[in-house]
Structure 1
Amino acid sequence: MGTVHPFPVATSQVGFERGELARIVDLYGRMVAAGMWKDYAIQFSREAASFCAFRRAAEHPEYRIEKRPALRHRQGMWSLVGEDGRVLRRGHELGPILAPVERRLLKVVNE
Structure 2
Amino acid sequence: MSVIPPMPTPAERPAEQVAFHRSELGVILPLYGRMVAAGEWRDYGISCLRDVAIFSIFRRTAEHPLYRIEKRPRLRGRQGMYSVIGMDGRILKRGHDLPGVLRVLERKLIRPVD
TM-score tier after normalising by the smaller chain length: 0.7 to 0.9
What's 2:5 paired with?
none
What 5-or-longer segments of structure 2 have no aligned partner?
1-12
Shift of 1:31: 0.5
Name the counterpart of 2:89: 85
Counterparts of 1:59 and 1:107, CA distance in 2:
25
TM-score (norm 1): 0.85
Within 1, Cα distance between the matches of 2:60 and 2:113? 28
Query: Is 1:52 matched with 2:52?
Result: no
Q: Which structure 1 residue ranges, 4+ long, deviate > 6 Å from structure 2?
A: none
Q: How does 1:31-42 map to 2 (within 5 A)?
A: 31-42=35-46
Of 62, 72, 89, the residue aligned with 1:68 is 72
Aligned-residue sequence identity (percent) comes to 57
Verify: 1:103 aligned to 2:107, yes or no.
yes
Deviation at 1:109, TM superposition (A): 5.4
- Name the CA distance, whole Å, in 2 between partners of 1:32 and 1:89: 21
Single out whichever of 10-19 and 87-96 deviates more from structure 2: 10-19
Separation (CA, whole Å) in 2 of partners of 1:10 and 1:24: 28
Q: What is the TM-score with the length of structure 2 in the denominator?
A: 0.83
1:17 and 2:21 aligned: yes
SS in 2 for 1:104: helix
CA positional deviation for 1:59: 1.1
Query: Which of these two proteins has the greater Rg computed from alpha carbons?
Result: 2
CA displacement at 1:106 relative to structure 2: 2.1
Summarize deviations over 1:30-83 as a string: whole Å, max 9, x none: 100000001110000110001000011111100000000001011110010000
Letter paired with 1:18:
R
Q: Which runs of 5+ in 1 are unaligned?
A: 1-8
> Structure 1 10/21 Cα, relative in aligned 2: closer, same or farther at 3 Å?
farther
Give the match's secondary structure for 2:34. Answer: helix
